Amino acid sequence: MLYRIVMATNNQNKLREAKKILSPLGIDVISQKDAGVHCDPNENGQTFEENAKIKAGAVYDIAKQPVIADDSGLCVDILDGRPGVYSARYAPDGEKCSKLLDEMKDIPDEKRMAYFECCIAFIDENGECHTFSGRCEGKIGYEEKGTNGFGYDPVFVSGDKTLAEMSADEKNKISHRGAAMRELYKYLKESYGE
């Protein structure tokens, strides 16, 4: 079936999620480091799609094999969509949730709506780029809860739990990256399936 796809990341959490979703197709997803690619492209796009394409293109140019890259972030309605494409640079690691909670400390429950958005860029063996996107709607809680997940997961509430309180399977069913990955999965199954 399909071979190997390089994921333009060294983030083990993202890699694990991608492997879990794509492995039923017989796809081996490896990190860019494992593919011998060492680059840190300048993500200066204005949208998640532009940034995903920048990352995928930079890794593809070196690896010369199929690549997936994602860009995603948290968009908070009352903050005019911030942190958005700057989610990773909003605050230092370990301080993102506390900064967001502080910024939203006086915001009432009905105005705490937010969503995660993800765009995945897949560059196939011919160098053609295809994009897939997904969203996860929810709201910002009042405190960090849960130890699973990463990034803003401890403050993002979907249903009655934060993403960090969910198991990996529960999160993959509703997450923005999970939704985008399922779109990619469908495309790969149709394009490369038996």
147-164, pLDDT tens digit by residue?
Answer: 987 889 999 999 999 999
Query: How sure is the predictor about 1, in pLDDT bands with cuts at 50, 70 and 90?
Result: very low
- Confidence class of residue 191 from pLDDT cuts 50, 70 and 90? confident
**Per-residue confidence band for 169, with pLDDT thresholds at 50, 70 and 90:** confident
Spatial neighbors of 31 by CB under 8 A, at least 6 apart, are 6, 7, 9, 10, 12, 15
- Give the rounded percent of residues in the chain with a pLDDT score beyond 70: 98
Catalytic one among 28, 61, 70, 71?
Answer: 71
- Tokens representing residue 44 in the block: 């200066």
Provide the whole-model pTM: 0.88
40 is catalytic: no
Check whether 16 has a pLDDT greater than 70. Answer: yes
Residue boundaries of the structural domains of the chain: 4-192
pLDDT in tens, 104-135: 999 999 999 999 999 999 999 999 999 999 99
Smallest CA-to-CA distance from 35 within 2, 16, 18, 60 is with 60
CA atoms of 46 and 77, how far apart (whole Å): 18
4-192 CATH:
3.90.950.10
